[in-house]
Amino acid sequence: MESARINTTDLGGPLLASVSRSFYFSIRLLPAVLRRPIGLAYLLARASDTIADSPTVPVAARLKHLAAFWQMVRTGEPEGLDELRQEITSPHDGECTLIACLGDCLAWLSILDQKERGEIVGVLDKIIRGQTLDLTRFGEGGRVIALQSAAELDEYTYLVAGCVGEFWTRLCLHHLPNCAHLGLADLRRLGTNFGKGLQLVNILRDLPADLRAGRCYLPEPELRAAGTSPTPLAHDPTKAQPVFDHWHARAAAYLEDGYRYITALRSPRLRAGCFLPWYLGVQTLALMVKTPPLASAEKIKVPRSTVRRALALAAPVAFSDSALRALHPGGPPAESVAAEAR
């Protein structure tokens, strides 16, 4: 497809909004130079997630299509795209449209500058490796399978989200070299933990549904130390509460590094764009304390009013550390966990 025919405005606008309303808002808050590459990276990552999670497609076929999609991203050649479009389905209308538009997304990738394209290919490599590992580990379900160590959980959160913090950081510093008070290494560590924290929030929020599907992201040795095992958790998730609480605290600590990440940024638009996921993550953790998901029949989800409040708060936070500090649960954090995790 020729570049002149690629409607990047639609891809980075209505299509992006249809698959992630909150992330779309974050993208709109970013400096203009970052919106398109980060928006495209999200669309490609969401496409790979749609492939990995396609509910009616056997695991073996999903693995085949993930591998084919990775080759498309890596080489720019759409070999296997027609078959992928025919077989991959989703109950989400936006995801169905995204799969139908993958050819345009790949064409858009091909016309980015070399640095942006290389960063997107690099982060997709890690994300798809994480999704492939996940499918291989849990298979078709049927019985509850747990991760075998904290290291496996750390690896997974890095591959599907922590690496996004690295990608985001490198791309920001490439386009806006003076956008932060910290150097690349320190900012990258904070960004990695920020991403891992957001993924842990998702894992903890979705734990009951994942258990019913046979997936347990809590490490089995920790479950056994707490007096339980993976199998009973599908019927009584509350048995995992002590392990859940440990990882809830870890997620909160990682989001403290997200707080530090934001305060290290000079660019008001970057601060605003990073604030939104941080604030929603913090609010989701708070909801899980108020309504523990392991004991609740309802999925934990921040209300739309919280999203609207986050958008309203983004403007003062963009320009003021004190405005951000006022929103930090318990006051500003005392010590970073960046050195601990990796």
Give the pLDDT score at 7: 64
Q: Which of 147, 152, 151, 254 is nearest to 211 (CA)?
A: 147
DSSP 15: I
The predicted structure's pLDDT at residue 10 = 65
For residues 309-321, give the mean pLDDT: 96
Of 265, 270, 274, 259, give the one whose Cα is nearest residue 324.
259
Compute CA distances 177 → 52, 172, 184, 266, 303, whole Å: 35, 7, 10, 11, 36
- Model pLDDT for residues 12-66, shown as the tens digit of each residue: 788 999 998 889 999 999 999 999 999 999 999 999 999 999 989 999 999 999 9
Band of pLDDT at residue 342, cut at 50, 70 and 90 = very low
Among 25, 62, 24, 61, residue whose Cα is nearest residue 43: 24
Average pLDDT over residues 211-225: 97
Reported as half-sphere exposure (CB side, CA atoms, 13 A), residue 108 has a value of: 22
DSSP 111: T
What is the structure's pLDDT at 140? Answer: 85
Q: What is the mean pLDDT of the chain?
A: 93
Residue 5 has pLDDT above 60, yes or no: no
Tell me the domain boundaries of the chain. Answer: 8-113, 141-342
pLDDT at 223 over 60: yes
Whats the size of the chain, residue-wise? Answer: 342
The end-to-end CA distance of the chain, in Å, is 41
CATH classification number, 141-342, choose in 1.10.600.10, 3.40.50.2300, 3.40.50.300, 1.20.1070.10: 1.10.600.10
Helix axes 268-290, 21-29, angle to 10 degrees: 150
Q: Residue 336 has what pLDDT?
A: 45
pLDDT (0 to 100) of residue 297: 78
